[in-house]
Amino acid sequence: MSTIAIADQRTATPAVRTRLRITRRGRIVLTTVAALPVFLVVALSVLNGGQASAGDSSRAGAPVHFETVTVQPGETLWQLAEETAPQADPRDFVQDVVSLNALDGSTLRAGEQIAIPAKYTVGD
């Protein structure tokens, strides 16, 4: 062996294995990347699954029975509620009539045909 080869063996240090060290910034990036899909799934669930369903879900698709009434000049839904169902809460009556007839508001026009739910006209 030559002198140069012996000298290189003495001065060469063995390879040291180091552990992977993650800096603070690296931990933040790793946490963000891991949490992003979870956040997106929760956000989409809240936005799409949070739709409220009005009414009784057990009666969904059940036929609605009603009677038709012609609106007289100057007549309001509140007056119609007092005449048709005096024992019922007028607010419930107005809301049911507006929903059943898909009205934009509580304004009526003379001669208009309005459907009244049968629960207000029959047996009450």
For the chain, 124 residues long, give each residue's pLDDT as a single digit of tens: 555 555 555 566 667 778 888 899 999 999 999 999 999 988 888 888 655 555 554 455 567 688 888 888 988 888 888 888 888 888 888 888 888 888 887 788 888 898 888 888 755 4
The pLDDT value recorded for residue 27 is: 93
Contact, 115 vs 101, CB < 8 A?
A: yes
Residue 16: the pLDDT is 76
Q: What is the pTM of this model?
A: 0.46
**pLDDT, position 47:** 83
- Residue 124: its pLDDT value, please? 45
Angle at 76 (CA atoms; ends 75, 78), nearest 5 degrees: 130
Q: Are 94 and 57 in contact (CB under 8 A)?
A: no
Kindly state the DSSP code that residue 105 receives in the 8-state scheme: S
User: Do residues 96 and 65 lie in contact, with contact meaning Cβ atoms separated by under 8 Å?
Assistant: no
- CB 110 within 8 Å of CB 72: yes
**Distance between CA 67 and CA 119 in Å, rounded?**
10
Amino acid letter at 80? L
The torsion region of residue 122 among left (phi > 0), alpha (psi -120 to 50) and beta comes to beta
